[in-house]
Structure formats: structure tokens, C-alpha cells
């Protein structure tokens, strides 16, 4: 599904990603952990196609297509979704209006008819339940005045409506209270399917108790320096990152 | 990848949608302005002598005046002697009684503009008084309005059929010598609209006028007068668009509103005249004086404007809150893209007790567009318990455009409460990326964000206009992200 080879990327002429390799197969869940500032969000943004992030070497293939050639909206239409670490507020733009425009743009790109208001609302009501989204949030401006947790929940709600093939969840667990974390995790689990892959960027092993990853990677200083399974996450929780870095430096 | 400035340019170069030119023989007076030309205009329109004298007074005042220079606008000097001051479709002597008699080319023009002139195409409940160059050619829904006692006609007709009303109110809000452009208009105005809503009448439909500038080098000087008698209500829509041309054109309109006791006037404008090309060549120079006199107690005047066109916009729809408890409102969206310049805002003059005013101004600048908000809130000593709220937001797209704010406040009564909020923001890369990462194209994303920014103003527009305004904003700003 996703194949990243030797990916180098810059932000403002600073090298942030320094050779990332990652293979993700359909249905797999990969957790990416790593110290602050190691490049996790950068990787997520590069995948989603943010303008000011320049790929300087390497390639990203998503279902065989070269992502570098595609605009962010084309990537979204191809089935990529990024749940942002810091979802942005858009004053005056109705939350579900944006979502409807998004869904219909994606449907159009697939040659499907736009959903009318009734069909769309039916889908919305159904998917809202997955993350127990507060109904009031539907008609508020996008993320404006949402609490931190509400923003994160809204991201997962959007994912549930847009049904991407590959979802990148950038620290969706940060800022969620214990109950909310559980609810959101359940929502994510409900979205799991053999065709849908996910990348979970997280600092906490707790999320991985709820959403079982197939692989866990450590990203440090722009590179994946260690990969493993669930056990690795537990080990990181106990021992921190220093030992992994030393191990990598020694190798 | 993605938003490079040449994409932006390609998009904005998309030709002006309404840029075409209709070939109609016009009855045009040669360029130049003197008392003879004014006599000729007045004569052609069979005006009473008092009106001719009124025009001449204005002309004499104008001759002593200088073009204002305080505005934040640059343009080459205007040669007032190079302008032709009168132009009318040829068939004006036997003015059409129904649409069948209207020059089909004209109708075609309106159709291209999407003006719903044919009755079957009319938006339900909207009467259209279309102005082609300087003379009104078609008026619809007269009947229904007539039943309600509402007078809605061209200004020339009003002069003929309702001279007393015209004489009583003309210049009572914007006097002849008010400012350079108003004086010029008073001297040479050719036509416009007149509305009178009788006592206690709620106008049964929204009144709408489309202005259109057509013949080459013809300045257009519209005059609009709306009088809402005691306890009456009216909503008036003004929309404008013009064909493409290379030479700059002057437009200097005057709009006067009078609201008597308990009367309510809502005046909405969508202005999308030709803004000039991407090199700043051509485009309309729009110098407008719009003022409402909330003369009666408990009266209300509300201006809503969406200004996306013209090379230059100089416009300050204002309210004189003379009656006690009177209310004035100004909701504005102004867009300047390419090389457009706008200096716009409002004046709220509080004279009566418990008067209230609200100002919401949203300015959007893109490319080399430059604009200024200029607002005056004056609380006179007589205006006990006056209230004003001003919110003034600017949105910049790219780093070559400009936004400036000049709020003036004169508070001469201690009981006044005046609030002012202002923000300037750049269209967020983050916001754009967020929308795009959800599958929405850059163009649609810009559109959505800008429309969101303007929401507080758009919600004040009548339904039909709100839709048009949103589309217009999209066309104006297509790709203008930098
Ligand atoms: N626009 C920018 N200009 C310069 N440096 C940047 C920019 N954006 C990110 N960086 C830098 O890139 C590095 C990686 O940032 P990134 O956001 O990818 O980290 P992260 O792994 O997601 O960290 P966290 O766990 O704190 O979210 C950081 O050192 C950050 O300061
Ligand atoms: Mg991060």
C-alpha cells in the first residue's frame, strides 16, 4: 500500500527527514514513536503533501502512484488521510459543510455521484456515533473554539466519514482524557479493515493497548532507527529512547 | 509542487466574465462639460426649470472644488473635459412599453450577465429596473407595486410624474456641494432610480436595479433617491457589472436615503464592475456618495455592500442618525485583487438620543490589491446614550497586497459607548492545507475560507444576493493565493 524509500525532506532548507524507509501493507497498523522534534509530524505532512516540505531524495509510492507528483487534494482523493496533531480553526466555515465538500470532492474523483443533503446527514449521524461526537460541533465553525479533545475527536469523525485507505493519526491521543481516549480508540478499531492501513504517531504506549499495532517503529533524528512489534512500545515506555539511539549509533 | 505563483497568475488571468460589448447606436453628446451641456441634458430629459437651476448651482459649486486627495488611492488625473456626459439608447423617444419592444441586443446583453429580465426568469418577488447606460429601458412588476402604492421608477420618470416628491427630497441628504464627486453628479446626472414607500406600507417585494455601463468613454452619473415614509419598510438591491474596455471610466453616483419615523430601509449592493486587467490597465473608477438620513424616531438604515469590482472604489455609505432611537448599520466586504484599489468605509453620525450603529467591515486583498478602511463614528453632544460597535477585519493573500485601517472617532457625549475591534490576518497556509488534505481543491478551499471570513456580512444580504456574492468572490479571487 505504502512504500517509502530513503526519504529525505527539508523544511526551510533544514534537513529533517534523513532517509526514512517504511513499508506498509493493506490492513496493517504501524505505530511510529520517537522523541520530540524527531520528524514524526514532518513525515506525516510530507505524506499528505504540505507545500513547504520539500522532498530532496527518495520516493514515496502509494498504491503504486508516486506521491511526489500529486497535490494534497489528489492524495486525499486517492485515499490518504491525515488526522492533524494540531487541527486548525477556520472561522465562519461550517464543520459539516467542509466535510460534505470534502466527501463529495473525493466521490467525484472516483466517478461517484455527490451525496445529497439527506444521504449525507444519514452518514454523518451514523459515523458520529463511532466517536460519540457532540452534535453541537457539527454546525460550529471548523475547530473554532473546540477543546483540544473535541478537535481530536472531530479528526477521527472526519476519517470515519471519508473512509480513507491509509490514515495517518498524528498524536490523536494527546489531549484526550482517559474516557475519550477509549472512545476514540474504539472508533479507530471500528474503522479497521483488511483494506485499510493506519500509521499511529504517538508518545504513549497506552494508545497501543487499545489499538494493537502490527509494527512499532522508532523515529529519531529523521530516521527509523529501530522497528519491532508491540513489545518494543512497552520497552520504550519503560526505558525511554536513549538505549535505542545508542544501539543504533553502535551499529 | 502545488501553489506556485505562476499558477496563481494563470488563474487570475481568466478573463473578466462579463467582458463583452454590445453594439447599439447611441445618442451621445460630444465630450466636454460646460453650462450648455448641462442645459442640453436637462432639455433632452424635458426637466422643469427648477431642476435645471439646481444642476447649474451644482455645476458652479463643482467648478470651485478640487479633487479630494486624502484618500489612499493613486491614479492619473481625470480629464473631465474628455468625458461625454450623455448617452442614451436610440429608441428613447418611443420608450418601450413592454419587453417585446426592447432592443433584442440589449436583452441579450442582460442575459449574458444573467440578469433575470424576462419575467419567466425573474427571481420570485424581485422587480428589476434595468439601467442601460443612462436611460432606464425596462421596468417590471410595476403593477404589483402600484397596488401597494409604492413608487419605483426611473429618476427621469419621477421628475415627470412625481415632481413634488423629488423636489422635496432631492439633495436633502447629499447637498449639491457636498463633495467634488457629488457636485459633479448633481450637475450632470442622467438617470437612476426613485423609490417612495408610503406611510405604513411594507414593500411587497425586494426592489432591484442593475446598472450597466456600456458606451465607450461615457461617464455614468446615477442618481438614486429612496424615501421611506413613516412606518414603512423596503429592501433595495443594487447590482452592477460592465463590459471590458481599455480606457478607465468614471462613475460617480449619488444615493440618498430618507427614513422617516419608524421606517426601515435596507440597501444592498453587489458591485462587480470591470476591475482592469492583470497589468492594471482599464477598469472603472468608482467614486460614489451614499448616505442615509435616519430622520425619524425609531428609524433604521442598513447598508450592506459587496465590492469586488472596479479599478478604484471610493465609497463611504453613511448614516445620519438624527431621529431618537434610530439605528444605522454598515456591513461591507471589499475585495481588491490584481491592481485594484479601494478606500471604503462608513460614517455614523449620531445626533439623536439612544442611537445605535454597527459597523462590520471585511477587507480582502490579493495580488497587488490595496485597500483602506476609513470610518468615522461621531457622537454629537445631543446623542445621549449612543452606542457604536465597529469590527474591522482584513485578510491578506500573498505579500504584495496591502490593507490599512483609518478609524476616526469623535465622542462629544460622555454617556456614549463606542467599541472598536480590528484584526489583520493572512490567509492561513495551515487552513488551506487542512482543506486540501481533505480532498478539496485549492480554489475551492480559498473560496471556502474567504466566504467564512465574510460570513457576518453575507448573512445580512438577501438570499439571491448572498448566493451571487459568494460566486463573485470565488471568481474574483480564483487562485489568488501567494
Ligand atoms: N517550518 C519549520 N521551519 C524550521 N524547522 C521546522 C519547521 N517545522 C518543523 N521544524 C523542525 O523540524 C523538526 C521536526 O519537527 P516535527 O514536528 O516533525 O517533530 P515531531 O517528531 O512531530 O515532534 P513532536 O513529538 O514534538 O510532535 C523539529 O526540530 C522542528 O523544529
Ligand atoms: Mg509532531
pLDDT tens string B349-403: 999 999 999 999 999 888 888 898 999 999 999 999 999 999 999 988 877 888 8
In a domain, B256, yes or no: yes
Would you place residue B248 in the very low, low, confident or very high pLDDT band (cuts 50, 70, 90)? low
Q: Best-predicted range by mean pLDDT among A15-29, B101-115, B449-463?
A: A15-29
**Would you say the CB of residue A16 lies under 6 angstroms from ligand 1?**
yes
Please determine, for residue B51, whether its predicted confidence score (pLDDT) is greater than 60.
yes
User: Among A12, A47, A73, which would you mutate to test the B interface (most chain B Cβ atoms within 10 Å of its Cβ)?
Assistant: A73
* CB-based burial, A143-173: b 16+ in 10 Å, e otherwise: beebeebbbbbbbbbbbbbbbbbbbbbbbbb
Q: What are the cell numbers at B217?
A: 468613454
pLDDT given at position B273: 78
In a domain, B482, yes or no: no
Give the least confident one: A118-132, B4-18, B233-247: B4-18
* Tens-place pLDDT, residues B287-325: 999 999 999 999 999 999 988 888 889 999 999 999 999
Query: Cβ contacts (< 8 Å) between A103 and chain B: which residues?
Result: 439
Cross-strand pairs, B403: B371
* Tens-place pLDDT, residues A62-94: 999 999 889 999 999 999 999 999 999 999 999
**Would you say the CB of residue A40 lies under 6 angstroms from ligand 1?**
yes
Is the pTM for the entire model greater than 0.80? no
In a domain, B422, yes or no: yes
Which residues are CB-contacts of B411 (< 8 A; sequence separation ≥ 6)?
A: B377, B378, B379, B418
Cα distance between residue A28 and residue A196, in whole Å: 7
Please determine, for residue A248, whether its predicted confidence score (pLDDT) is greater than 70.
yes
In a domain, B458, yes or no: yes
Q: What are the cell numbers at A95?
A: 464543520
- Cβ–Cβ < 8 Å for A137, A92: no
- What's the mean pLDDT in A11-34? 94
CA distance A170 to chain B (A): 14
Show the domain range for B370: 2-477
Please determine, for residue A35, whether its predicted confidence score (pLDDT) is greater than 50.
yes
Please determine, for residue B124, whether its predicted confidence score (pLDDT) is greater than 60.
no
- Structurally, chain B folds into a number of domains equal to 1
Give the least confident one: A4-8, A55-59, B123-127, B151-155: B123-127
Q: Going by DSSP bridges, is the β-strand pair B233-241/B206-212 parallel, antiparallel, or unpaired?
A: parallel
Rounded to the nearest integer, the mean pLDDT of chain A is 93
Query: Cβ contacts (< 8 Å) between B1 and chain A: which residues?
Result: 49, 51, 68-69, 71
Which residues are CB-contacts of B269 (< 8 A; sequence separation ≥ 6)?
A: B237, B238, B239, B240, B303, B304, B305, B306, B307
- Residue in B317, B308, B310 with CA at minimum distance from that of residue B469: B308
- A241, B97, B108 from B22: Cα distances, Å: 75, 22, 9
Q: Best-predicted range by mean pLDDT among B8-22, B346-360, B386-400, B443-457?
A: B346-360
Helix H or strand E encompassing B180: helix B180-188
* Tens-place pLDDT, residues B200-244: 999 988 887 654 444 334 457 889 999 999 999 999 988 755 444
CA distance A209 to chain B (A): 29
Cα distance between residue B457 and residue B454, in whole Å: 6
For domain A27-49+71-250, the CATH superfamily is P-loop containing nucleotide triphosphate hydrolases (3.40.50.300)
- What is the ipTM for the molecules in this complex? 0.96
In a domain, B94, yes or no: yes
In a domain, B220, yes or no: yes
**Would you say the CB of residue A164 lies under 6 angstroms from ligand 1?**
no
In a domain, B248, yes or no: yes
| Three-state secondary structure call for residue A168 | strand
- What's the mean pLDDT in B63-71? 89
Amino acid at each position: 500500500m505504502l512504500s517509502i524509500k530513503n526519504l529525505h525532506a527539508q523544511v526551510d532548507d533544514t534537513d529533517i527527514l534523513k532517509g526514512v524507509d517504511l513499508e506498509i501493507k493493506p490492513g496493517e497498523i504501524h505505530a511510529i514513536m520517537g522523541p520530540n522534534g524527531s520528524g514524526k509530524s514532518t513525515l506525516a505532512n510530507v505524506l499528505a503533501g504540505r507545500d513547504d516540505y520539500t522532498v530532496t531524495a527518495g520516493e514515496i509510492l502509494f498504491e503504486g502512484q508516486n506521491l511526489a507528483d500529486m497535490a494534497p487534494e489528489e492524495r486525499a482523493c486517492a485515499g490518504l488521510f491525515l488526522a492533524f496533531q494540531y487541527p486548525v480553526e477556520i472561522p465562519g466555515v461550517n464543520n459539516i459543510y467542509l466535510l460534505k465538500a470534502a466527501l463529495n470532492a473525493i466521490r467525484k474523483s472516483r466517478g461517484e455521484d455527490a451525496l445529497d443533503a439527506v444521504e449525507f446527514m444519514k452518514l454523518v449521524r451514523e459515523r458520529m456515533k463511532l466517536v460519540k461526537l457532540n452534535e453541537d460541533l457539527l454546525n460550529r465553525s471548523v475547530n473554532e473554539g473546540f477543546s483540544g479533545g473535541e478537535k481530536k475527536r472531530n479528526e477521527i469523525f472526519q476519517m470515519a466519514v471519508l473512509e480513507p485507505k491509509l490514515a495517518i493519526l498524528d498524536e490523536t491521543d494527546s489531549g484526550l482524557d482517559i474516557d475519550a481516549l477509549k472512545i476514540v480508540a474504539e472508533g479507530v478499531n471500528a474503522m479497521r479493515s483488511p483494506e485499510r492501513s493506519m500509521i499511529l504517531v504517538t508518545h504513549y504506549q497506552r494508545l497501543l493497548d487499545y489499538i494493537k499495532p502490527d509494527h512499532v517503529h522508532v523515529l529519531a533524528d529523521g530516521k527509523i532507527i529501530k522497528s519491532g512489534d508491540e513489545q518494543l512500545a512497552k520497552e520504550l515506555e519503560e526505558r525511554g529512547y536513549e538505549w535505542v539511539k545508542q544501539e543504533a549509533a553502535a551499529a | 509542487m502545488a501553489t506556485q505563483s505562476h499558477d496563481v497568475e494563470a488563474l487570475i488571468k481568466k478573463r473578466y466574465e462579463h467582458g463583452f460589448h454590445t453594439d447599439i447606436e447611441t445618442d451621445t453628446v460630444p465630450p466636454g462639460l460646460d453650462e450648455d451641456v448641462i442645459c442640453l441634458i436637462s432639455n433632452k430629459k424635458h426637466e422643469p426649470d427648477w431642476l435645471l437651476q439646481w444642476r447649474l448651482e451644482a455645476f458652479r459649486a463643482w467648478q470651485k472644488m478640487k479633487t479630494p486627495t486624502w484618500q489612499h488611492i493613486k491614479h492619473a488625473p481625470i480629464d473631465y473635459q474628455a468625458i461625454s456626459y450623455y448617452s442614451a439608447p436610440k429608441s428613447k423617444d418611443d420608450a418601450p412599453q413592454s419587453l417585446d419592444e426592447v432592443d433584442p441586443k440589449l436583452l441579450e446583453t442582460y442575459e449574458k450577465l444573467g440578469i433575470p429580465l424576462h419575467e419567466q426568469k425573474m427571481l420570485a418577488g424581485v422587480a428589476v429596473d434595468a439601467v442601460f447606460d443612462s436611460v432606464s429601458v425596462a421596468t417590471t412588476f410595476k403593477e404589483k407595486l402600484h397596488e401597494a402604492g409604492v413608487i419605483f421608477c426611473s429618476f427621469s420618470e419621477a421628475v415627470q410624474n412625481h415632481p413634488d416628491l423629488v423636489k422635496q427630497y432631492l439633495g436633502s441628504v447629499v447637498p449639491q456641494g457636498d463633495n467634488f464627486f457629488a457636485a459633479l453628479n448633481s450637475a450632470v446626472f442622467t438617470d437612476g432610480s426613485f423609490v417612495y414607500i408610503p406611510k405604513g406600507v411594507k414593500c411587497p417585494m425586494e426592489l432591484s436595479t442593475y446598472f450597466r455601463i456600456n458606451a465607450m468613454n461615457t461617464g455614468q452619473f446615477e442618481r438614486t433617491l429612496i424615501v421611506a415614509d413613516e412606518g414603512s419598510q423596503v429592501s433595495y438591491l443594487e447590482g452592477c457589472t460592465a463590459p471590458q474596455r481599455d480606457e478607465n471610466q468614471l462613475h460617480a453616483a449619488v444615493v440618498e436615503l430618507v427614513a422617516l419615523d419608524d421606517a426601515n430601509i435596507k440597501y444592498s449592493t453587489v458591485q462587480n464592475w470591470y476591475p482592469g486587467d492583470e497589468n492594471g490597465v482599464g477598469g472603472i473608477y468608482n467614486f460614489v456618495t451614499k448616505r442615509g438620513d435616519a430622520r425619524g424616531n425609531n428609524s433604521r438604515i442598513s447598508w450592506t455592500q459587496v465590492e469586488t469590482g472596479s479599478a478604484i472604489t471610493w465609497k463611504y455609505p453613511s448614516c445620519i442618525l438624527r431621529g431618537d432611537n434610530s439605528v444605522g448599520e454598515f456591513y461591507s466586504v471589499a475585495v481588491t485583487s490584481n491592481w485594484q484599489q479601494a478606500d471604503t468605509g462608513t460614517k455614523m453620525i449620531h445626533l439623536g438620543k439612544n442611537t445605535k450603529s454597527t459597523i462590520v467591515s471585511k477587507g480582502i486583498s490579493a495580488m497587488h490589491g490595496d485597500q483602506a478602511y476609513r470610518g468615522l463614528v461621531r457622537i454629537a453632544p445631543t446623542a445621549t446614550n449612543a452606542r457604536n460597535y465597529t469590527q474591522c477585519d482584513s485578510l491578506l493573500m500573498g505579500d504584495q497586497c496591502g490593507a490599512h485601517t483609518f478609524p476616526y472617532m469623535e465622542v462629544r457625549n460622555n454617556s456614549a459607548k463606542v467599541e472598536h475591534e480590528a484584526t489583520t490576518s493572512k490567509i492561513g497556509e495551515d487552513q488551506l492545507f487542512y482543506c486540501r488534505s481533505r480532498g478539496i481543491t485549492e480554489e475551492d478551499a480559498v473560496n471556502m475560507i474567504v466566504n467564512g471570513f465574510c460570513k457576518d456580512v453575507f448573512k445580512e444580504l438577501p438570499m439571491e444576493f448572498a448566493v451571487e456574492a459568494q460566486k463573485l468572490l470565488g471568481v474574483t479571487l480564483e487562485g489568488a493565493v501567494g
